[in-house]
Amino acid sequence: RVALELSGVERHYSQGEQALSILKGADFRLLGGQTVALVAPSGTGKSTLLHLAGLLERPDAGEVSINGRACGSLSDPERTAIRRNEIGFVYQFHHLLPEFTAVENIMMPQLIAGLSKKEARERASALLDYMRIGHRAEHRPSELSGGEQQRVAIARAVANAPFVLLADEPTGNLDPETAGYVFEALKALVKQSGLAAMIATHNYDLASKMDRRITLQDGKVVELA
């Protein structure tokens, strides 16, 4: 099953008088259950690609499809609904809500999606156990280590069982050992849930542990060995 597909995607910015072509016909497919590392130097368009894949921006040409559904002709509210229910985001800095506990942070997107408190708490607890931090459920973010915070952020991102997980340097502010643990937990989750994960990272060690590696070259997606 193709969870994420970009075909012929173009994105051009204007910088003063000049047009800056960042994506020039990018093609890419990611299957459910696959992890792909997006490895490219700063300024080549990683954030642009993640924003397009996450339906935060619209391409100037080409099509982005989530779980087989072409999103180009959809309205903004329809795209927002897909973003909430079918796509999860993880950032370098976790953006957890400081006044809520770990389990409450993970319940939040489910409550917004209309689940009951009981259902949301059950799924949040299961995810915390899966990420091996069940014993930290009632702690607030400030009481958690960096690795624990990032695992809560990943659990929150997948709380609504999305098809696609997009992560921008999710372990960028962690020491290598902790980054390794967090990534292993993420990978286990991907395999268990059939989620497709695209992870922008500068960490070659982590990239080497993913199913695939891609980069951006000349405005196109290029597969690395």
Question: In whole angstroms, how close is the CB of 130 to ligand ADP at the nearest point?
Answer: 10
Task: Kindly write out the interface string for residues 110-139 of this chain, putting x where it contacts ligand ADP by CB under 6 A and - elsewhere.
Answer: ----------------------x-------
Number of neighbouring beta carbons within 10 Å of residue 74: 16
* Dist CA 109 CA 17 (whole Å): 42
Q: Which of 84, 111, 181, 219 binds ligand ADP (CB under 6 A)?
A: 181
Reduced 3-state DSSP string for 161-221: CCCEEEEECCCCCCCHHHHHHHHHHHHHHHHHHCCEEEEECCCHHHHCCCCEEEEEECCEE
State the Rg of the chain over Cα.
17
**CB of 27 or CB of 119, closer to ligand ADP:** 27
Q: What are phi and psi of 171, to 5 degrees?
A: -115, 15
Site for ligand ADP in 42-81 (CB under 6 A): 42-48
Q: Which of 87, 128, 148, 166 binds ligand ADP (CB under 6 A)?
A: 148
* Dist CA 53 CA 5 (whole Å): 8
**CB of 43 or CB of 98, closer to ligand ADP:** 43
Task: Kindly write out the interface string for residues 10-29 of this chain, putting x where it contacts ligand ADP by CB under 6 A and - elsewhere.
Answer: ---x-x----x-x-------
Interface with ligand ADP, residue 170, by CB under 6 A: no
Judged by the rule CB under 6 A, the positions of this chain that interact with ligand ADP are 13, 15, 20, 22, 40, 42-48, 132, 145-148, 178, 181, 184-185
